[in-house]
Amino acid sequence: MSKPVVLIAEELSPATVAALGPDFEIRHCNGADRDELLPAIADVDAILVRSATKVDAEALAAASHLKVVARAGVGLDNVDVKAATQNGVMVVNAPTSNIVSAAELAVALMLAAARHISPAHAALRNGEWKRSKYTGIELYEKTVGIVGLGRIGVLVAQRLSAFGMNVIAYDPYVQAGRAAQMGVRMVTLDELLAEADFLSVHLPKTPETVGLIGAEELAKAKPSLVLVNAARGGIVDEAALYDALKTGQIAAAGLDVFAKEPCTDSPLFELENVVATPHLGASTDEAQEKAGIAVARSVRLALNGELVPDAVNVQGGVIAEDVRPGIPLTEKLGRIFTLLAGEVAQSIDVEVRGEITEFDVKVLELAALKGVFADIVEEQVSYVNAPLLAAERGTAVRLVTDPESPDHRNLITIRGTLADGSQFSVSGTLIGINQRERLVEVNGFLVDLEPTDHLAFFRYEDRPGMVGTVGQILGEAGVNIAGMQVSRDAKGGKALVALSVDSAVPAEVLEAIRTSINAESVRGVDLTA
């Protein structure tokens, strides 16, 4: 088989290619050149870009084999995520690759503005020794207000706490208790503006945050305030900031981002109390290498059909550690469900019960669907296209959660309605410190079986001698039984034998068992593919 093709459309670190490994054919092109990009993307499985390559609807339409777009960085302004989703293409980025670099730059700008580094440096280069003019202020024992206590905001808070600063924060989506654990006091924006000696912005740019800090807000600040924005341009009103700095309403500013970029001509650049950089938050060797390695790993996962935590167009977002062990189990349950039911269900409920329901378990619905379709479609099933496959087949899907789980700490059930109106279900759980996978229910029959690579299920009328007959036929065929469960709904009623075996049961052996025990249903399940 030919190797999957990965197109690197911009210059990335050598570590990126190394992280991809030998399993892919690597090609290169200049993604910024449209005439070069469109033919180059036609037959590739994945494309890696930075910010210069536009992966829009036109490019996606030209890419008939494309499965994943990887942006080696945080922003996705150059990727049409909606069009990618409509085409069943996964989009991944590296959301944490630059957070340390961005946090360190914010601190650097704060220090530079507090100590007048930029004008003092310029004066010295002009042959002027102006020690008295550029007397600065310390950060020690001052109050810093963090606007936006996300990942970068937390890193900034931690670093400034080490400077001996009093840290307060405004973020309506962060609970005060969580902030208190970090030594941060949550306040309103008005309180923050009134109390802060330093202010650092760490919010995403949204319709709600554009212009959040304008003339009215700056009028509430101390005249000694040093404001830093290394997040997104436009959150701080630049015209209002210029007026506040020019009139002495606030003391200084450190800026790395601007409302329109590239920005080389701003009135703010004329002011000595402004230190500015050209959006350098992610511009460190370490951040670029982390981004390349992160997306390379995501590409490997995506092309293998595995869960990609950094996929931006997959529901579920960041996956809690408590939920992760249930993902492969749920995918196996999905495969077992379809192989035993023998058809695509008209509707599917993915039921999650127990302690893990306190976390976001949406990813388990995706894992179930991936398993449900894994063995019945020609194309590779991923966490992106599995819901599309369900929609195309008219399968209604629902995630059901319940914190109560009477028999197991956590229980995952896939329950579906088949074409004849009957229902079919399989359930599984994780047990012990090592979170071992167990199949615990098959269509109402209680079992306790490890879902190994090879399984077999036989349903028949309960009567003596049937288990021995099954064992004898398998033994004669050289199929070793690793585990066996016998369950029945009533004495003399329906019975189920569930087996884990060391090798796949050949079709002729399954048929021999069917005939010998007059089985209603005989199924072999192979989970190796």
Burial (CB count <10 Å: 0-12, 13-18, 19+), residue 494: middle
What are the distances in angstroms from CA 326 to CA 24, 204, 376, 451? 29, 32, 23, 13
Structure tokens at 385: 């296209």
CB atoms within 10 A of CB 468: 10
Amino acid (one-letter) located at 426: V
Distance CA 439, CA 458 (A): 15
Contact, 370 vs 334, CB < 8 A? yes
How do strand 198-201 and strand 226-229 relate by DSSP bridges? Answer: parallel
Amino acid (one-letter) located at 363: V
User: Rounded to 5 degrees, what are φ and ψ at 425?
Assistant: -150, 155
CB atoms within 10 A of CB 226: 28
Burial (CB count <10 Å: 0-12, 13-18, 19+), residue 189: middle
3-state secondary structure of 504: coil
Contacts of 511 (CB under 8 A, 6+ apart): 522
Is 351 tagged catalytic?
no
Is 279 tagged catalytic?
yes
Distance CA 359, CA 362 (A): 9
Distance CA 367, CA 382 (A): 9
Contacts of 173 (CB under 8 A, 6+ apart): none
3-state secondary structure of 487: strand
Is 232 tagged catalytic?
yes
Active-site residue, from 116, 202, 232, 415? 232
Active-site residue, from 11, 261, 343, 379? 261
Burial (CB count <10 Å: 0-12, 13-18, 19+), residue 205: middle
What are the distances in angstroms from CA 3 to CA 7, 16, 25, 292? 12, 18, 6, 20
Distance CA 184, CA 149 (A): 9
Active-site residue, from 279, 297, 300, 415? 279
Q: Which residues are catalytic?
A: 232, 261, 279
